[in-house]
Amino acid sequence: MIKLDAGNVLMKPSQRKQVMAWLKRAMKLGERLGDFVLSITLRQTGRVFELKASVHDRVGDFACRVRQHDWIDAFRHLARQLATKLHTQRLVRTRA
């Protein structure tokens, strides 16, 4: 499950759909681990966008934080970070 809190940033429905497409790989990896909950908070302070993500799954919890001048680049970077960390957790789970 994904919870997106856009905070003080206005997002059009098409932009939300685009973000969900970027997070598709992370969602699939999280669902394989089980008990997957992803909470993303988006805030804008001045010209900087800050994304905070907290992930809970069966293996454990972790958090990611990204700060960029463009929210699109920030979401792309966050999606890559999440997929990498979830993949690592999946590898740890299969070894144990």
Q: What is the CATH number of the domain that holds 15?
A: 3.30.160.100
Query: pLDDT tens-digit profile of 38-79?
Result: 999 999 999 999 999 999 999 899 999 999 999 999 999 999
Gap between the Cα atoms of 42 and 37, Å rounded: 17
What is the pTM assigned to this prediction?
0.89
Q: Which domain holds residue 51?
A: 2-95
Into how many domains does the chain fold?
1
Tell me the pLDDT of the chain averaged across its residues.
92
If pLDDT is split at 50, 70 and 90, which confidence band does 96 have? low
Mean pLDDT confidence for 8-24: 91
Q: Counting beta carbons within 10 angstroms of the beta carbon of residue 60, is it exposed (0 to 12), middle (13 to 18) or buried (19 or more)?
A: exposed
